[in-house]
Structure 1
Amino acid sequence: MNKKKHFSLLLTVILVIMSLIPSVAMANNESALKSNKGANGSIPQLSPAQPGELIDCERLVSFDFPSTVITKAELVPKGAESNAGQPIEEHCLVQGKMNERVSSVDGQTYAIGFEMRLPVDWAGRFLYQANGGLDGSVVRALGSFTGGQLENGLQMGFAVLSSDAGHTGSQNPLFGLDPQARLDYGYQAVGTLTPMAKSLIEEAYGREPDRSYIAGTSNGGRHAMVAASRYADEYDGFLAGAPGFNLPKSAVAQLWGAQQWAKVATDINDLETALPPDERQVLAQAILDRCDGLDRLVDGMVQDIERCQKVFDVERDVPTCELERDGTCLTEEQIQVVKDVFAGARTSDGEEFYSAFSFDPGLVSDGWASWKFRSSISNRDPVAVGYIFSTPPEDPSMMEDTLGFALNFDLDTQGQTIYESNERYTESAMEFMTPPNPTNLDTMRNSGAKMIVYHGASDGVFSSADTARWYNELNANYRNKADEFARFFEIPGMGHSRGGPATDQFDGLGSLIDWVEYGKAPDRITATARGEGNPGGVNPDVPSDWASDRSRPLCPYPLVARYTKGDPEVASSFECKPSSGGPGLNR
């Protein structure tokens, strides 16, 4: 063969091989998407969910799944349910229970009760609606969890699941006497319900969901964060609001906080007398005077939360009473208590037990006061600590005097019971309530799943600074690239889950869908105040001198909203910029 023919043949072979490369690459990409596994550390992009249609509702009463009983399956007509003034479309309501049993410990009957709502016109998505508080009741499965949500999950076409997490009675913590009920509440109910729900969806629509999400606030936010660690292979998106991922520690810290407030309360049975509304306004105004303009606009909001923790000094900046309390100042004793409470619960030798809290003007709201002064001595925090989080549980007689239990609680000794286990209670509260390894989300990341976490800076029970600390540690673990799969949004002025002088109305679930299914990372989320006339419900904490629909960008931590130019009431006049103060003192 001459050289010319040899070169021609070689060129032909090369061209054929090159023509095959795109096909091979495409096949490999499709395989990666189907298996949800990235190659060489890359993060796969998941495909969008595809719509479907309900086959039949009534026949779901015969749905067969292990240890599951369906008690109801019926169509709900359009308009029978509504949200934000809009009717919810026709859907199928399914109710049932799983794993019914009689406890060998307390003799009570337990089961995981649930409700699912399946839209006739389905978006191809499943939403686990993680509920708050102590659970204990099957909240309507509408997919609502943020402040004044204008469009809930059911309206967005999700098949939605809600449950009681394995026990009944949202204000009855005695379920904590039963070891399995503790585990179901902590994490196992989610693991039990998820495959059942997906199987029911397959029965209802002829296929399993294309994309699955879990979302909630408070304890529901904790459920979402735990799921990201324990059940990452079951979900594509995690939306965690005000996440109490260290809930046992925060509940104990509430009792310690009650003891601090009691030092300056004028009525021991009403801890709010330690810092009533007029004095909280004095404290809030001092924070505003020092920090409001850090974002280049004086607007009654502290956007640069990080820097504020450095420049605000409660001893220097708050007016001190020269004589008696008159509502315009704080005494030296009050200032010391405020300083101690915001610094976080500590043992007698000064060791940190729970995170510090951020100084934020949202502390003026009644929601903040309710958590600090009322929940800490009522049948919420004391009984949760005593019956659910302590090993062994306290004697039920302590419920007769929750104030006395809170004020006499020994952080050094009793506080350690949340870390203890025994032959009956084989997992401590810090094991069954918290993510096993919150800074290692490899399974979630490598599957292409995404997480959005949001937290109000004036949350009175779960510290947003604790959440910021978690995100900093997560980011360090992923070499400053955690924002590729997880983003945290700290919301100025917002209280626990919602409320406060804040822009607390936003579409977190829609932002998560855009990120998971379309690759649109949330560089900012527009949030609106719920002033007069808001269709999702009015937030009474919105100041009267704000525009009723004031909007602000929620910025991914550690960026903060900074005013640039234009109308100060609209989000487009702000940009997300780095904090000018760097990491805060309590982060």
Structure 2
Amino acid sequence: MARPKQHPSPLLRPLPTLPPRAWAAGLLAALGACGGSDDPPAPPPPSPSATLSCDDSMKTAFKPDANTRVILAKAFRQGDALALADTPATPAPAKASQDMCLVKMVVGPGNAGTAGAPSTSPGIGLEVWLPTPANWNQRIRNLGGGGWAGGSQASATQIGNAGAAATAALGYAVGTTDTGHAIAGNGSFAMKEDGTINSALWGDFAERSLHELAVKTKALVEAYYGKPQQYAYWEGCSTGGRQGYKIAQEHPDDYDGYLNGAPAFNWTRFITNELYPQVAMQRDLGGPIAADKLRRVSAAAVSACDTVGGQHLGFIADPGQCRYDPTRDASALCAGVAGNGVVGTSTDAACVSLAEARTINKIWYGQTADGSAPDPQADNASGTTLASRQLWWGLTRGTDLSGLAGSSGTPPVARPFTIATDMVALELQNPAYATSSFINATGNGADKWKDMSYADLANAYDRGIALQAAFGHINTDNPDLTQLRDGGGKVISYHGLADQLITPAGSLNYLSRVADKMGGIEAVQAFNRLYLVPGMGHCAGVGSVSGSAGPAATADTVPLPAANQFFDALVAWVEKGTQPGPLMLKSADASVSMPICVHPQKATYKGSGSATDGANYSCR
């Protein structure tokens, strides 16, 4: 059944701005009703095409609450450059493909402090793009952010998310938020100037900004169009996927449907784990493994595990079944190096030592408190629950490791993922552990992470869990979705099985916990369905390296979701009650196809026909 339409609370609905004659007519009608006149009440004024004007008058006309102020309302005509006063000339800004209105708001109170300090904020910045009344499809489609979010939504002279205008051109009212801080891609905002935890901005980042975006977008839509939306949707990936789940957990009536890709829930757990590859290489080897060696071993893993029907696909369809172990691969080990029962034969410059092979196995297994990793034949980190000494899961075999185990130059210099170093600095309340991009009045980042032992990183992991209340409960790992289910909300989530940043095991673990809480996986599928996409990287594109045998992993060989394929399935589920089932994916040139199934079913080869033809698979 389609979900009943949700409307904003009347307490949140601003009064429409009416011309003086309309107010006068209303006043006369009210006086007549009170006995002030014997004349019949005047008829209500006709509904205007837009009850607010897209200009400076909106700053006083739209005032949904005392904390919210409009800082800009600007009309763009089709063909106008999507630019404000401080928009750089290069690269050239995109142009509006339809007429629309941009409204920018700030929701206080923010966090007081020194002007220019990362932790100083006037409040939560919101941007809403409004199609013309004639073009509006009566739907809201709010978009999530990435990484630490941040942006220019609270600026009257810069646009925070011009890309949202392209979605608005399709007929949707589209809102985005800076989550309460202006600095994009940096965690410095979450530490006060004295080095302590900035709980106010953690709370804005983790949850408050998301609910405010929903409430204010709905109020603005009703005030601008003179009627509420019929349906409201959330769409986001990575941080945006976490944001979707946070709203679904805490404010499920904010949206009718949620599309949550590669969700960054389990925030402190998986992000602390993202530093583990660098710490493991630092402790075991004294520095990073060269990029060509990582690629060489990952390529061997792909070709060891990508065969279906006797044919190399060029990507691993089911990484959970892959137990490739470079310590047992003579062709990967350098000539003369004795591995686990083999002697290396490779003379390639990208061959690995036994110590390097063991460290790569650690990276695939994921963080442990002591840096240990079991034999992949016994445990390849494919479980949905953590093993006894495992703190979190590593990336799947065959996935490009350069994002988390990256380096640059010769000899290689470590290039850690800065969100992970930021997170460790915040957990330990010491900016020195971060890289130099982390700024604080008590001292900036100084790469102290390089000195961390396995136990030190495990302590940071534990601190992240202990500090959840101060961090706005950023982990977003509550498995109780009862209110979402009972309110009729729907969630489609998806995760690439070759995600280079957020291991898909986190999505599997969360769904299993929801199933345990809410009556089993079949009961959960009534409102939340998960798709796992082989070969896909973080949110989009190919995340697998190319194998040492078979086709290269490219957009023409790896079938990936088409634009809006997941979103269209969500809309059909919400508005028509059509339950999403298997989705057929195609490569860019349509030469390869494969279905993806609703988890826990998997695309299973039927046993005959081409392995690159999706018709030869079924969901089992």
Question: Which interval holds the TM-score relative to the shorter structure?
Answer: 0.7 to 0.9
Kept in 2: contact 1:77–1:90 (CA 8 A)? yes
Shifted more, 374-383 versus 231-240: the winner is 374-383
CA drift at 1:521: 2.0
Question: 1:170/1:374 Cα in 2 relative to 1: closer, same or farther (>3 Å)?
Answer: farther
CA drift at 1:222: 0.8
**Counterpart position of 1:433:** 474
Kept in 1: contact 2:76–2:99 (CA 8 A)? yes
Shifted more, 98-107 versus 463-472: the winner is 98-107
Q: What CA distance in whole angstroms lies between the structure 1 residues aligned with 2:597 and 2:76?
A: 39
**Counterpart position of 1:401:** 446
Q: What CA distance in whole angstroms lies between the structure 2 residues aligned with 1:362 and 1:463?
A: 10
1:197 matched to 2:217? The reply is yes
1:122 matched to 2:149? The reply is no
**Counterpart position of 1:94:** 103
- The one-letter amino acid paired with 2:495 is H
- The one-letter amino acid paired with 1:413 is N
**Residue pairs, 1:399-478, within 5 angstroms:** 399-402=444-447, 404=449, 407=452, 410-421=456-467, 427-429=469-471, 432-435=473-476, 437=478, 439-476=479-516, 477-478=518-519
**Residue pairs, 1:41-440, within 5 angstroms:** 56-58=53-55, 59-61=57-59, 62-66=61-65, 67-80=67-80, 88-103=97-112, 108-120=120-132, 121-137=135-151, 138=153, 139-140=160-161, 142-143=163-164, 153-177=167-191, 178-263=198-283, 268=287, 271=288, 274-277=289-292, 279-294=293-308, 297-308=311-322, 311-317=323-329, 319-323=332-336, 326-327=348-349, 329-348=351-370, 352=389, 354-363=391-400, 367=403, 370=406, 377=416, 379-387=418-426, 389-390=427-428, 396=440, 399-402=444-447, 404=449, 407=452, 410-421=456-467, 427-429=469-471, 432-435=473-476, 437=478, 439-440=479-480
Q: What CA distance in whole angstroms lies between the structure 1 residues aligned with 2:513 and 2:308?
A: 26
CA drift at 1:99: 0.4
1:496 matched to 2:538? The reply is yes
1:448-496 C-alpha deviation (Å, 9 max, x unpaired): 2111111112223211012112222323433231222111111212222
**Counterpart position of 1:509:** 567
Question: 1:510/1:390 Cα in 2 relative to 1: closer, same or farther (>3 Å)?
Answer: farther
Q: What CA distance in whole angstroms lies between the structure 1 residues aligned with 2:414 and 2:221?
A: 39
Gapped regions of structure 1 (runs ≥ 5)? 1-28, 37-51, 145-151, 531-546, 579-587
CA drift at 1:570: 5.5
- The one-letter amino acid paired with 2:519 is Y
- The one-letter amino acid paired with 1:362 is T
Kept in 1: contact 2:560–2:586 (CA 8 A)? yes
Kept in 2: contact 1:73–1:93 (CA 8 A)? yes
1:32-55 C-alpha deviation (Å, 9 max, x unpaired): 94689xxxxxxxxxxxxxxx9755
Q: TM-score, length-normalised on structure 2? A: 0.71
1:112-141 C-alpha deviation (Å, 9 max, x unpaired): 111110112111111221101111113416
Question: 1:415/1:435 Cα in 2 relative to 1: closer, same or farther (>3 Å)?
Answer: closer
Kept in 2: contact 1:559–1:576 (CA 8 A)? no
Q: TM-score, length-normalised on structure 1? A: 0.74
**Counterpart position of 1:533:** none
- The one-letter amino acid paired with 1:175 is F
Kept in 2: contact 1:69–1:97 (CA 8 A)? yes
Kept in 2: contact 1:292–1:302 (CA 8 A)? yes
Q: What CA distance in whole angstroms lies between the structure 1 residues aligned with 2:596 and 2:168?
A: 25
Q: What CA distance in whole angstroms lies between the structure 2 residues aligned with 1:299 and 1:349?
A: 33
- Structure ranking higher in helix proportion: 1
1:35-94 C-alpha deviation (Å, 9 max, x unpaired): 89xxxxxxxxxxxxxxx9755433534311211111221222224479xx9973221111
1:130-181 C-alpha deviation (Å, 9 max, x unpaired): 101111113416449xxxxxxx632432211111100111144222122201
- The one-letter amino acid paired with 2:348 is D
Q: What CA distance in whole angstroms lies between the structure 1 residues aligned with 2:370 and 2:612?
A: 47
Q: What CA distance in whole angstroms lies between the structure 2 residues aligned with 1:295 and 1:474?
A: 35
Q: What CA distance in whole angstroms lies between the structure 2 residues aligned with 1:504 and 1:516?
A: 24
Q: What CA distance in whole angstroms lies between the structure 1 residues aligned with 2:600 and 2:309?
A: 14
Q: What CA distance in whole angstroms lies between the structure 1 residues aligned with 2:49 and 2:567?
A: 22
Kept in 1: contact 2:432–2:448 (CA 8 A)? no
- The one-letter amino acid paired with 1:478 is G
CA drift at 1:241: 1.1
1:434-461 C-alpha deviation (Å, 9 max, x unpaired): 2252x22111112221111111122232
Provide the identity percentage: 21
User: SS at the partner of 1:383?
Assistant: helix
Kept in 1: contact 2:78–2:95 (CA 8 A)? no
1:311-350 C-alpha deviation (Å, 9 max, x unpaired): 5444335732224873453221111111111111011396
1:333-371 C-alpha deviation (Å, 9 max, x unpaired): 11111111111101139654543235343327x556559
User: SS at the partner of 2:307?
Assistant: helix
Question: 1:92/1:333 Cα in 2 relative to 1: closer, same or farther (>3 Å)?
Answer: same
- The one-letter amino acid paired with 1:196 is K
Question: 1:79/1:555 Cα in 2 relative to 1: closer, same or farther (>3 Å)?
Answer: farther
Equivalent pairs, count: 492
**Counterpart position of 1:560:** 602
Aligned-CA RMSD value: 3.5
Kept in 2: contact 1:142–1:153 (CA 8 A)? yes
- Residue 485 (structure 1) aligned to one of 503, 522, 527: 527
Question: 1:374/1:228 Cα in 2 relative to 1: closer, same or farther (>3 Å)?
Answer: farther
Kept in 1: contact 2:6–2:253 (CA 8 A)? no
Kept in 1: contact 2:276–2:366 (CA 8 A)? no
User: SS at the partner of 2:509?
Assistant: helix
Gapped regions of structure 2 (runs ≥ 5)? 8-47, 83-93, 154-159, 192-197, 338-346, 373-387, 434-439, 543-552
Kept in 1: contact 2:431–2:444 (CA 8 A)? no
**Greater RCO between the two (CA within 8 Å, min separation 6)?**
1
Kept in 1: contact 2:64–2:216 (CA 8 A)? yes
Kept in 1: contact 2:187–2:422 (CA 8 A)? yes
Q: What CA distance in whole angstroms lies between the structure 2 residues aligned with 1:68 and 1:329?
A: 60
Q: What CA distance in whole angstroms lies between the structure 1 residues aligned with 2:493 and 2:49?
A: 31
